[in-house]
Amino acid sequence: MLPADQGSGFATSLPEATETGTMPEVLGARREVPLLDGRRVAQVFLDNAASTKPLRRVSEYVRAMEDYYSNIHRGTGYDSVFCTQQYEEAREIVAAFVGGDPVRDVAIPVRNATEGLNLLASTFEFRPADIVLTTLLEHHSNDLPWRGKARVEYVGLRPDTTLDLAEYEARLQALRGRVRIVAVTGASNVTGEVLPVHRLAEIAHRNGALIVIDAAQLAPHRGIDMRPHGRPDHLDFVVFSAHKMNSPYGEGAIIGPQSHFNAAAPYLQGGGTVYHVGLDHVIWADAPDRQEAGTPNVLGLLALAAAIRIYQQVGWDAIVAHERELTRRLLRGMAAMPQVEILGPANADDLGDRLGVVAFSVVGLHYQFVAAVLSYEFGIAVRAGCFCAHPLIKHLLKVTRDRERAIEGEVQSGDRREVPGAVRASIGLHNTPADIDRFLEALGAIAARRWRGRYVQETRTGAFHPEDYTFDFSTAPQLPD
């Protein structure tokens, strides 16, 4: 949910609003990059599901705020008081962005969604029989933090690679009273599936479980509304990252009930988490301070709030329409290439609620090789690997248990050349139909076995690079001497 303007201090410190529906400028998205043949071309950046480049207006706002930077909450100087006011207003903007209750919920800033999910997992006192139910679609950040805290079980996928909702409901009914937490992604960073989070919440609550939404991939692409407490489809906790929302300044947030965080032990202990300390006792502060040890990333939270305001000005209707147009163009073009295999839903004429995230392979070619050629010969930035979702990738690629064991042995010996994976192209606010067409032209050339360079594969990383060629970074910014 995109909030209306709240207060005056933060909104008036942002640059003038853009026209609703107009895609805002993204820094560096079209910067020239060198190619293997010596040419320089405008980059096509299709690695947005990993991280997005900063919005120009966010960058300008951060630079303006640097002059005022000061630590917050206890300083009495002008800058400290101002930054404290801006920080707390930004906290409210972040909570409202996902429909948090302004009285009952609180936004806790964290470095990113990974830290947020680790922090959240630490706030539950699990009993020996407790289960965390998650899915095969999860990013490692919504899987690994729960392991060791409780028994983790996984809901599988249907043959079309979408979440098996019937299995989800059946598992919750069968384990009623034992599933403490349902931890589920809002959208897959591999298949692009957008999950029906409110339906999942209603089923979880009916069976006595709380629901945690990893919204790192969802938040930049679809509106989120936690809905009121007491409703069966209320989202209990939402976690997301700023770096996927064109604000890569090291911030994320957890939004959830203040009462929960008041009752939990501090994730980290130190400055800012207490009301009083004696030599043999501590009076811990209430949330959010209790969970915010040390000096916070003040500029990072302000940048996230600034990005939220810009997304608000563009509007979800325009953001979704822009993404759907490009996703349809991308899928149709790839469908015309029989050598290209898409992992996940691939019907361009029936997108459903699908993000512009497309993982794929080219028959007969190593995924790392495909990504390298796209970069070195066409100036197109994509991602290659398992996308921090190893179980899902192995499922989609039908990797057998015997093959998995063999690969693990190779990895432990330092050889990652045969790790299974795919290539991923992912759409952002700055992308255009011309970007998609350039990508499709390049992919078509690779599928037809047309490339110029001779490539070698690194044993340690599995990555490919051209023989006798490396990127020249001498003209790029350098650390001060």
Determine the Cα–Cα distance for residues 339 and 362; give it in Å rounded to an integer. Answer: 6
CA atoms within 13 A on the CB side of 451: 24
Q: Residue 132 has what DSSP assignment?
A: E
Residue 98 and residue 91 in contact, taking contact as beta carbons nearer than 8 Å? no
Number of helices followed by number of strands (H, E) in the chain: 13, 19
Contacts of 340 (CB under 8 A, 6+ apart): 334, 360, 361, 362, 363, 443, 447
CA-based radius of gyration for the chain = 23
Q: Find the mean pLDDT for residues 450-457.
A: 98
pLDDT band of residue 159 (cuts 50, 70, 90) is very high
Domains and CATH numbers, the chain: 32-53+316-466 (3.90.1150.10), 62-312 (3.40.640.10)
Q: Find the mean pLDDT for residues 429-455.
A: 98
- pTM metric for this prediction: 0.94
386 counts as catalytic: no
**Could you read off the pLDDT of 310-342 as tens digits, one per residue?**
999 999 999 999 999 999 999 999 999 999 999
Residue of 415, 404, 429 whose CA lies nearest to 458: 415
| Per-residue model confidence (pLDDT) at position 462 | 97
Assess whether pLDDT exceeds 70 at residue 2: no
Q: What's the mean per-residue pLDDT of the chain?
A: 95
pLDDT band of residue 276 (cuts 50, 70, 90) is very high
Contacts of 424 (CB under 8 A, 6+ apart): 47, 49, 190, 357, 358, 359, 360, 382, 383, 384, 387
Assess whether pLDDT exceeds 90 at residue 211: yes
User: Peptide bond preceding 220: is omega within 30 degrees of 0, i.e. cis?
Assistant: no
Q: Residue 290 has what DSSP assignment?
A: G
pLDDT band of residue 471 (cuts 50, 70, 90) is very high
Determine the Cα–Cα distance for residues 223 and 314; give it in Å rounded to an integer. Answer: 12
Determine the Cα–Cα distance for residues 190 and 358; give it in Å rounded to an integer. Answer: 7
Backbone angles phi, psi at 118, to 5 degrees: -65, -45
Q: Find the mean pLDDT for residues 294-312.
A: 97
pLDDT band of residue 5 (cuts 50, 70, 90) is very low
Q: How many CB atoms lie within 10 A of CB 321?
A: 12
Residue of 32, 5, 58 whose CA lies nearest to 429: 58
**Could you read off the pLDDT of 377-402 as tens digits, one per residue?**
999 999 999 999 999 999 999 999 99
Q: Find the mean pLDDT for residues 12-31.
A: 72
Query: Pairing mode, if any, of strands 464-466 and 455-457?
Result: antiparallel
**Catalytic one among 388, 389, 407, 429?**
388
